[in-house]
Amino acid sequence: MSRSALVGNVTAMLADAGFLVSDRCAVRPKSFDIAARRGKDVILLKILGNVDSFDAATGAEMRRLGTYLNATPLVVGLRTRDEDLKPGVVYFRHGVPVLSPDTAMDLFIEGVPPLIYAAPGGLYVSLDGSVLADAREQRDWSLGRLAKELGVSRRTVSKYEGGMNASVEVAAKLEELFEEPLTSPVDVFDTDDLRDADPTPEDPQADPDDEQLVTVLTRVGFDVHPTLRSPFKAVSEDEAKATETLLTGHSAFDRTAEKRARIMSSVGEVTRTASIYVVDEAKRDAVDRTVLIEREEMGRIEDADDLMALIYDRIEDVDPDAT
């Protein structure tokens, strides 16, 4: 299957599952292909044939964007260099969860979350320690008895009951012994406990061409997070109002800029963020819902409230239902 066809299939699957799906981010470089929202769940999705092509820089940017946009970064892929991805298993690449299309379909269409995750050394599951302890005590088994049945130490059994995860083989043996489910599904929207939950990677340096824009946004009260592999140049957060977030772009206004502005509008609709594109000369107020602001006009803005008022006024002029 071509990557383009795979992207189309995954996009259609998410739409069938009730997600609002953004336009495809058909510009380069790009860290994610589409954004999607269903209720409170927002995902930034990278779709790949071979997940080994997912590099550390892309993973770092997706994780940063997930933090700033309150979204979960995810990869859907078909295979690694050595094998196809197994259904029902969550993999990780550079701190980002990876699912096969079948696993994604089970999760988003059928509402059946995966039970297994891959980590160094093999495949693992999350045990419900309290259920395991209750099952053992109902059998009147000691820690030593269960340890002997499993071929592990008493200390290991104690750790299982305290919440330590187990290999698939151990989990299967436990469920065979006690004849009841003892595992918890993997929550792909909160996988910090299944991997080394490193802090959010540091922001990259802004492009020198964007330093003036960064300076203006910072002066009026925004915390600016530059990006390197997105259709926008930065995500900017109002320091005084956590609810005000902007996707910001800047360049000469040509066909590529217009394309980026449309993608920003679509992604902003999904992530519920406003978007602006700063240009030298604007012949219209907006591209879809991305507001165009001339560089000189941007320099005259005094504070974040003035900027947001300008954005909302222009969006309403273009689309009265947008506000």
- Please state the domain count of the chain: 3
CATH of the domain at 73: 3.40.1350.10
Cβ within 8 Å of residue 111, ≥6 positions away: none
Same domain flag for 48 and 83? yes
- Which residues of the chain are modeled with pLDDT < 70? 193-198, 242-243, 317-323
Give a yes or no: residue 176 inside a domain. Answer: yes
Nearest by Cα to 270 from 42, 25, 6: 42
Give a yes or no: residue 54 inside a domain. Answer: yes
Separation between Cα atoms, residue 12 and residue 184, nearest integer Å: 29
Give a yes or no: residue 200 inside a domain. Answer: no
Q: Where are the alpha helices (DSSP H) in the chain?
A: 3-16, 56-68, 101-108, 129-138, 143-150, 154-161, 168-178, 211-219, 255-271, 295-300, 304-318
Please tell me whether residue 303 adopts helix, strand or coil conformation.
coil
Same domain flag for 85 and 134? no
Q: Are 262 and 288 in contact (CB under 8 A)?
A: yes
The set of long-range contacts for 193-198, using a CB threshold of 8 Å and a minimum separation of 24, is 193/126, 194/90, 194/92, 194/117, 194/119, 194/126, 194/165, 195/92, 195/95, 195/119, 196/95, 198/95
**Residue 154 CB: number of other CB atoms within 10 A?**
14
Q: Are 246 and 236 in contact (CB under 8 A)?
A: yes
pLDDT at 143: 93
pLDDT in tens, 28-54: 888 999 999 999 999 999 999 999 999
Give a yes or no: residue 203 inside a domain. Answer: no
Same domain flag for 154 and 218? no
Same domain flag for 141 and 161? yes
Please tell me whether residue 278 adopts helix, strand or coil conformation.
strand
Same domain flag for 17 and 41? yes
Give a yes or no: residue 202 inside a domain. Answer: no
Same domain flag for 106 and 141? no
Last-in-domain residue among 61, 87, 114: 114
Give a yes or no: residue 87 inside a domain. Answer: yes
Give a yes or no: residue 190 inside a domain. Answer: no
pLDDT at 323: 47
Give a yes or no: residue 159 inside a domain. Answer: yes
Place of tokens 């997706």: 62
pLDDT at 179: 87
Q: Are 189 and 229 in contact (CB under 8 A)?
A: no
Nearest by Cα to 145 from 169, 177, 180: 177
**Residue 237 CB: number of other CB atoms within 10 A?**
22
Same domain flag for 69 and 12? yes
CATH of the domain at 156: 1.10.260.40
Q: Are 112 and 127 in contact (CB under 8 A)?
A: no
Q: Are 115 and 185 in contact (CB under 8 A)?
A: yes
The pTM of this model reads: 0.88
Domain ranges, residue 102: 3-114
Same domain flag for 171 and 79? no
Same domain flag for 110 and 8? yes
Separation between Cα atoms, residue 91 and residue 69, nearest integer Å: 23
pLDDT at 316: 76
